[in-house]
Structure 1
Amino acid sequence: MITHPSIHLGHKINSFSLVTSMSRIKYYYDPKSCKYERYKKSKWDITLQVLGFLSLSTLLATALMGSYYYFFDSPKELLLKQENQELKLYYDILEDEVTKMNQMLGDLQQRDDNLYRVIFESEPLSDNIRRAGIGGSDRYREIKEKGLKQEELVLELSQKVDGLKRQLYVQSVSYDEVTEMALRKEEYWASIPAIQPIKNDNLNLLASGYGMRVHPIFKVKKMHNGVDFAAAKGTPIYSTGDGVVLNVKTVFGGYGKYVEIDHGFGFVTRYAHMNEFKVKKGQKVKRGDLIGTVGNTGSSTAPHVHYEVIKDGKFINPVNYFFKGISPEDFQKILELAGRENQSLS
């Protein structure tokens, strides 16, 4: 069959208009069958179109998400930032607390060094002891190995806390020492010889003082290592401080019958020319306890008690320790009486 060219032309025009007017269903003109046939896509064409669509969609989605996250934070980032802000807030609070605790500790250290240790006559702790190290370079290895973003802040705070703990420990030990010194100071004040060995209310029994005095037998000036209290035979003699009886002895000549008491802290007292003993060696005594009576034994020219105070092996003036139970005026009177250069009684 011969087809007129005009008919083919018309068919082509009609085919074009049909295809363009139907956007979803496409047709084409088949010259063999002289019919419009429906266009069928192959599986490969469909696959390419789907892949292209998916690729384009993915590209657009990625671009949109990237732009969004560039200008706006994701919910997770917002939570993390909020968490970081809270952690920073808590860090600042903790650091402020550490600073305040350091200030309080500094005040305690000042009191310890300049008040408590001065009262108890002890040397202050050195800065080297107070601020000594607390560990080697591996102490914070665990923190460093975690790779924390805020590692510097964590390390800094950890070092401050460790330093504070170290100083608190040193201060605690120091207060233990101060407490022990306080207890020993109480013992010290109870132990030192602080009263006169006999009752001397009128202050008229002190017959001879400490220093160069005329010896009653040799009639030459000799060192008199104690003070003499003249009193009637049998007058009670009292311990001048807490201690332990060191010696209870009797010798012919010299001190005669005498008692020695060890008060600790380097103090020893001696009571000579006694008539009777009221204590035994090793016996514990308190200040004011009866230890014997006045006599006239040994190298003595009249009934009296010769009283000595020995500190760290050296004789010292006993009058300087007659400070308990007397007024400043009475103490001044005792000093005047003890200062007279007269003849001793032994």
Structure 2
Amino acid sequence: MKQQYKYNPETLSYEKVNVSFGRRLFRIVLVSAPSILLGLLLALVFTRRIDSPKEKELKVMVDKQERELKRLHKEMLLANEVLDVVEERDENLYRSVLYADEFPVEMRRMGTGGSDKYSYLKGMPSDSLLLLTSTSMDRLQRRLNAQSLSFRELLKLVKNKETMITCIPSIQPVRNTDLKKPISGYGWRIDPIYKTRQMHTGMDFTAPKGTEVYATGDGVVELVENKAWGYGKSIVINHGFGYKTRYAHLSAIGVSEGQKVKRGFLIGLIGSTGRSTGPHLHYEVVKNGKKVNPIAYYHSDLTPSQYEELLKSSNKSSKALD
């Protein structure tokens, strides 16, 4: 820095100006500050806009992982769509053919963990996409596990199908040639004694006293009753696979408890015992403890036209016979 002088009017001469070190340093900083600030700003801009080779490599990897996650998520959506078709066939085809119960809905929706299961994903690159893919994967796994259980159950039924086919009720308990109208079907009917509307839990086949009654499927005679009221003389056959049948108001019984019977085996004769207004057979089908409409269990000995005629006849009658 150049030597500075100042004029002294008292001595009429120029005198040297002595500047302290601190003052000199302050002047240097003051002069250099704009350059330093500009340099810092330029460094900040360049470091933010220009990635290092390592940062570029990491960015490429993250982008690649994100594309792969999107591809996996798309494939899982497709797999879930295919599984929708499999589940639909399971319920409406396979289980229908094998007379299997509906697979429990709660089994198909089995849980896989708490709400904090995916907390470790927060803060990761593409964490929202990771969360979406992880939940989709869990859902797919849950549905596949449930479908595996369902198929395992159906496989057991397939292995027992030959036995099951002979056991499940599938014929009329009375020959068509022996039947006389009216036939009272399953559903709400007028009670013949109390004249009130009540649920009729079976099907009434009208035929002359002494008409032969046949077992509708293979099974074991579980119960033989002889009551003055109610079902009167009746038989209950356990067919296994959740099925039972009852034959009521008989005039005679030809089997005993514990006896094994085959489909078409003569088990008794039509009568009007118990709570009955005339000779007929009251026939019930019980599936898994619930009385169901017997009309669905005559497919082995009726033609389509005969079945339609039976259906019309049972629906026309508004009165039960017991």
When the two structures are superposed, what TM-score results if normalisation uses the length of structure 2?
Answer: 0.51
Residue 6 of structure 1: aligned partner: none
The superposition leaves residues 56-91 of structure 1 with CA deviations (integer Å, 9 ceiling, x where unpaired) of xxxxxxxxxxxxxx9xxxxxx76x578647735752
Aligned residue pairs: how many? 250
Residue 135 of structure 1: aligned partner: 116
The structure 2 residue matched to 1:209, chosen from 183, 189, 193, is 183
Give the distance between the partners of 2:296 and 2:248, measured in 1 at CA. 17
The superposition leaves residues 77-122 of structure 1 with CA deviations (integer Å, 9 ceiling, x where unpaired) of 76x5786477357525532431232222331454367665566667
Is residue 91 of structure 1 aligned with residue 72 of structure 2? no
Deviation for aligned residue 1:197: 0.7
Q: How does 1:213-224 map to 2 (within 5 A)?
A: none
State the SS of the aligned residue for 2:302: coil
- After superposition, the Cα gap between the structure-2 partners of 1:175 and 1:298, relative to the gap in structure 1 and judged at 3 Å, is same
Is residue 152 of structure 1 aligned with residue 133 of structure 2? no
The superposition leaves residues 204-246 of structure 1 with CA deviations (integer Å, 9 ceiling, x where unpaired) of 524542255978xxxx98988641353684835113x576644
Whether the 8 Å contact between 1:244 and 1:261 is mirrored in structure 2 is: yes
The structure 1 residue matched to 2:140, chosen from 168, 177, 180, is 168
Structure 1: runs of 5 or more not aligned:
1-69, 71-76, 145-150
Q: How does 1:214-253 map to 2 (within 5 A)?
A: 226-230=203-207, 233=210, 235=212, 237-239=214-216, 245-251=221-227
Give the distance between the partners of 1:181 and 1:112, measured in 2 at CA. 15
Give the distance between the partners of 1:129 and 1:213, measured in 2 at CA. 46
Structure 2: runs of 5 or more not aligned:
1-45, 47-51, 96-101
Q: Please provide the CA RMSD for this pair.
A: 5.4
| Percentage identity across paired residues of the two chains | 16
Give the distance between the partners of 1:90 and 1:105, measured in 2 at CA. 23
State the SS of the aligned residue for 1:135: coil
State the SS of the aligned residue for 2:125: helix
Q: How does 1:1-346 map to 2 (within 5 A)?
A: 80=54, 84=58, 87-88=61-62, 90-92=64-66, 94-108=68-82, 110-111=84-85, 116-117=90-91, 135-136=116-117, 139-140=120-121, 151-153=124-126, 155=127, 158-176=130-148, 178-179=150-151, 193-200=169-176, 203-210=177-184, 226-230=203-207, 233=210, 235=212, 237-239=214-216, 245-251=221-227, 255-261=231-237, 269-273=246-250, 275-278=252-255, 280-281=257-258, 288=263, 290=265, 292-294=267-269, 296=271, 298=273, 306-309=281-284, 318-319=294-295, 321-335=297-311, 337-338=313-314, 339=316
Give the distance between the partners of 1:159 and 1:342, measured in 2 at CA. 62
Residue 18 of structure 2: aligned partner: none
When the two structures are superposed, what TM-score results if normalisation uses the length of structure 1?
Answer: 0.49
Structure label with greater radius of gyration: 1
Whether the 8 Å contact between 1:259 and 1:272 is mirrored in structure 2 is: no
The superposition leaves residues 29-56 of structure 1 with CA deviations (integer Å, 9 ceiling, x where unpaired) of xxxxxxxxxxxxxxxxxxxxxxxxxxxx
Give the distance between the partners of 1:327 and 1:292, measured in 2 at CA. 24
Deviation for aligned residue 1:268: 5.0
Deviation for aligned residue 1:272: 3.5
Whichever residue aligns with residue 120 of structure 2, its letter is R
Deviation for aligned residue 1:305: 5.7
